[in-house]
Structure 1
Amino acid sequence: MDMEGVWREMEKLVKENLVRDIGVCNFSLKKMNKLLGLAEIMPSVCQFEMHPGWRNDKMLEFCKNNSIHVTAYSPLGSSEGGRDLIHDETVERVAKKVNKSPGQVLVRWGMQRGTSVIPKSSNPERIKENIKVFDWQLPDDDFQALCNIPQQKRVLDGEELFVNKNQGPFTSG
C-alpha cells in the first residue's frame, strides 16, 4: 500500500475544502507512527474495534496522546465472532445493577472512555434502546469492573481482508 500517496490525496481533499476532516480505520500502532511521521494534516479520527472484551488500551492511549478521536466499532462484541458480550456475566451483572440493558451498558462504557460508539443492530427495538445512553453514567466501580474483563480477544480479526503475510513494510503475519 502506498500510504503516503493515499494520505496526500486525502490531504488534498481537505485543502480543496471538499471534506473537513480525514481519518483512518484499523491502523496498527506501527502504521499510525508511520502516518504521523509523514502527515501534513493529522488524522482527526481513528476507527477500530473496541469493547470490554478487546479494550485496545495502547491504541486508545496513542490516539488520545495525539489528539485523534476514536470511534469504536463492534462495541457489543459479536455472536458471529464468538464473543457475544451481551451475555457476559460481568456485563449482565452491571446491567441489572444499573437497571439498563447489556447493550446500553456496553455503549455507555465506550462513551465513558471518551470514544464515539457505533453499535450495529437490525432490530428496531435494540436500535431505540441503544440510543438511550446519554442521560446516565456507569458508576466508577461498575466501569472499572468492565475495564477489568480478563479475556481480551478481537471479535473481527479481518485476517482475510487486512493481514499482510507477504513481504513489505507492514507485514502482520
Structure 2
Amino acid sequence: MTKIKSIFIVINLLLLIGYFNWSIYAKERILSEGKLVLIELAPVDPRSLMQGDYMHLNYKENTFLEKVKIPKRGFCLLKIDSNGIGHRIALIKDMRPLGNDEVVVKYFFDGNEYWPSIHIGAESYFFQEGKGKKYEAAKYGGLKIDRNGNSILVGLYNKDLKLIL
C-alpha cells in the first residue's frame, strides 16, 4: 500500500512541476511575442499597511458611466492610437478578426450593478519600500498582450510615455 502511495505522490509532484513550468513558459511567450499597449490609469492610493508599498491599478478603460448588461467574461476590444495607447471600442464575447491597430484583452466583470466596471490586466504594482514618490507620476500601465487576449503588466509609464524605472 505504501508503494502505491509513493507512486501517486511522485506522479502528482511531476504533474505540479509540469504545470508550473508550462505557466512560466506561457508568461515568457507573452513577454517576448506580445504587443505593448499603454492603458491610461485612474488615480488610486499607493499604500497598503499589510502588503507594503504598492499601487492599486484602476485603468480608465475599466469604468462604465452608463448601466449596461455586461457578460461575466469576454474580451475588451482596444484601438491603439499612434502613441501606442489603447482605447476601448467595445466588449465582445468571442474573438474576431482584428485590424492592425486593434487588440483584445481578456476581462471579467465583477457583477456590481451600481458601479459597473470590468477588470483587465494586472490590478496591483508592487515596488520597493520608500520608492512610491516616483510612481505617483504614473499615467499609463504598460501591458504586453498576446493574440489570445492574455496580458502581463510590464511597467508603469509617465505622461511623456517613458517607462518609470
Q: Is the structural similarity TM-score above 0.5?
A: no
Larger RCO (CA under 8 A, 6+ residues apart):
2
**TM-score computed with the length of structure 1 as normaliser:** 0.23
Structure that is richer in helix per residue: 1
Structure that is richer in strand per residue: 2
**TM-score computed with the length of structure 2 as normaliser:** 0.24
